[in-house]
Structure 1
Amino acid sequence: MVKLLVSDVAWVVFLTFTLTASEGFQLQGPSGPLVAQLGGSVLLPCAAESPLPLEELEVEWRRADSGALLHLFQEGEERPESQDHVYAGRAHFFTEEVARGNYSIMLHNVTMQDAGNYTCKVFTNVESSNIIVEVYLERLWVSGGGVVFAHAADEVVLNCSVDSHIPADKLEEVTWRRKDKTLVLLYQDGEVVSESSDPKYQGRVQFYSEDISKGDLSLRLKDIRTEDKGEYICTAHSGDLSANTTVVLKALGFSNVHISILVLCTITLLYTLGYTILAWLLLRKKENSPTACLIHFSRFLCPDILLGICFILWGFAEGSLGEASACATLNFVRVLLLMKTAPYLDQLPGIFHKLKTLGAPAVYTMVTIVVLSVHYRSKQNLLEALSTMDLYAT
């Protein structure tokens, strides 16, 4: 009886030792998620602490979600015929390394669908073990976009941010452009290149965040003009990767300057209509009276001055200073020309008679100054003109 009891205890100890020893071998995988490049190759690591006998070894690599078979190693060799058609010819074992306990595979021509979890499962006749390998695609995503509303002369922020495994400070280039390709703002090689912006945006745009490395690529646009409304595209570049988002700016209402311009234009219209009727009535009674001539004279003088002021205000409000100054000058020049050719000029005080001799030089001088200042408002145009003059001089 005692011998039987000792025998049973020995048998239990033996079974316990055997089961403990065969709890399963350990597989080693990557320490974290793997990052793969679209179109490139990625190594999916899987290895045993010690080699396992090839004659009883079976290695399966499968998608964790769908169970699709990437590759199979069985009976001492690869089984490419068993691969799912999605991975056929793209997944390979390192055959010579399998005998050393290396069960990793290389996945080539990575696609967007290859992102996800993979299971490496290793079997022997008596035991098995598995690990999960997670694969991310190296991506460059830009978020933001949407519709933004703003009033003229306001300041607005157009949102854009980068979401990527690539650090934002590694971005090679960030551009903000209008839909018509007009360059609004450029960030290149770690610096903001403000001078490359289109002239109508220079001094009015900047990145919302001074530290782009935090991933905030938003654009701050100041002194909004009605012409600023439209689509703005934020694009980020890193190597062969690029991504973009679109923000639509819709301007609403007018600023105080715009309202002032509207009021002046209305006053000009009413003034012109009222004085036209009054001048017609007076000239009808006594055509050459000094009073009638002064009224007729003020009828074209005041509206042109008011419209000239309107053009100047519009230039400040909309930034088209060259065009506004040219239009304002033409209005003032028109006053000089009309006074010079007025048939009733002799009826006015003597100071106006000098317009017959000074009118033409004044007109030519004003037009010349304005045209030259508009055309040569940029240093580049002036340099080109000077170089052309040098060519003719030689």
Structure 2
Amino acid sequence: MFSSVFSLEYQLEMVEVTQGKEFVLLPFKIKEGFTQDVKVEWKHKNKMVHEYQIGKDQCHLKGQDQKQRTEMKKDPLNTKDLSLTLKDLHLTDSGVYTCTIYNKDGHMLLRKSVTLSVRVPEVQMVETLKGVQSVLLPFITDIKLQDVTAEWKHEDKKVHVYKGDQNQSYIQSRTEVKNEQIKNGDLSLTLKDLQLTDSGVYTCTVYNKDGHMLLQKAVTLSVKV
């Protein structure tokens, strides 16, 4: 067992994952055991996301549907596995996560930091011909989308915005995002009456109701003669 005056800080560990994954594990396994009166705190950028002590296993990070987004394994002090599972990954989940163990007097016994990098998927390529009636720029995610704003841009120019009941095209009604598909995680953009000037990079960014970026995807469109 660790004594109440002993403290140790583990080396920083790196974890990478692609956005849209169901979950990721932030690892923290210890070699020594602890007495049962300690407290375990996981924080992200100094904000509490999960805490554990005997009789208390509390998630502080919830999704838009109020489901818990963090989880520790059962009986972590006895199994010596303090790893944190983070669910429904967003781009804003990137950053340093710190797990700190305190004794009953509030003194730090052990600490480890894990840097999580949530990456945007590689740019997808779509090719079509000038004059074609329509083309689909795909963006499908497994994350449930509630109270979100989705903004499609062509280069730096806004072309379509979806927000609640508002579904607005900014290029003469040549774009469409289908309302009935959004609830299933489908934010794909239909672009109509193809022109050569439609070629380029299209980026869709999804924000939650607080304005924080959740997801992003880029699609390169090539319109050929």
TM-score (norm 1): 0.33
Work out whether residues 27 and 84 of structure 2, in 8 Å CA contact, stay in contact via their aligned partners in 1: no
The answer for the alignment partner of 2:187 in structure 1 is: 217
Contact 1:159 1:217 survives alignment (8 Å): yes
After superposition, the Cα gap between the structure-2 partners of 1:69 and 1:221, relative to the gap in structure 1 and judged at 3 Å, is farther
Percent of residue pairs bearing the same amino acid type: 19
Deviation above 2 Å: which 4+ runs of structure 1?
Answer: 63-74, 77-80, 90-94, 104-109, 114-119, 129-145, 208-211, 239-242
How far, CA to CA, are the matches of 1:92 and 1:228 in structure 2?
50
1:246 to 189, 208, 218: 218
Paired residues of 2:130 and 2:224 also in contact (CA < 8 A): yes
Give the structure with higher Rg (CA). Answer: 1
- Alignment of 1:139 with 2:114, yes or no, is no
Within-5 A mapping of 1:344-363: none
Partner of 2:110: none
What do you get for the CA RMSD once the two structures are aligned? 4.4
Query: What is the aligned partner in structure 1 of residue 137 from structure 2?
Result: 158
Using the TM superposition, give the Cα deviation of residue 115 of structure 1 relative to its aligned residue in structure 2, in angstroms: 6.5
| AA aligned opposite 1:226 | L
Question: Shift of the alpha carbon at 1:213?
Answer: 0.7
Alignment of 1:65-214 (within 5 A): 67-68=29-30, 72-74=34-36, 77-78=37-38, 98=54, 102=55, 104-105=56-57, 118-120=73-75, 135-140=85-90, 145-154=123-132, 155-164=134-143, 167-168=144-145, 170-179=146-155, 181-194=156-169, 197=170, 201-208=171-178, 210-214=180-184
Q: Deviations over 1:342-378 (max 9, x none)?
A: xxxxxxxxxxxxxxxxxxxxxxxxxxxxxxxxxxxxx
AA in 2 matched with 1:245? K
C-alpha distance in structure 2 between counterparts of 1:188 and 1:70, whole Å: 51
Equivalent of 1:229 in 199, 202, 217: 199
Q: Distance in 2 between matches of 1:172 and 1:186?
A: 11
More helix by share: 1
Distance, in Å, in 2 between the alignment partners of 1:64 and 1:248 is 33
**1:17-36 deviations in Å (ceiling 9; x for gaps):** xxxxxxxxxxxxxxxxxxxx
Within 1, Cα distance between the matches of 2:139 and 2:191? 13
Which is strand-richer, 1 or 2?
2
Quick one: distance in 1 between partners of 2:71 and 2:51?
18
Q: Distance in 1 between matches of 2:26 and 2:32?
A: 11
Conserved in 2, the CA contact under 8 Å of 1:232 and 1:247? yes
> Which residues of structure 1 form unaligned runs of 5+?
1-62, 84-89, 124-128, 254-394
Contact 1:119 1:132 in 2 (8 A): no
SS in 2 for 1:67: coil
C-alpha distance in 1 between matches for 2:39 and 2:183: 47
CA offsets 1:222-264 (integer angstroms, 9 cap, x no match): 11111110000011111324221100011112xxxxxxxxxxx
- Cα distance in 2 between the residues matched to 1:69 and 1:92: 20
For 2:175 and 2:32, the matched residues in 1 are separated by 51
Select the structure with the greater relative contact order (CA < 8 A; seq sep ≥ 6).
2
TM-score (norm 2): 0.54
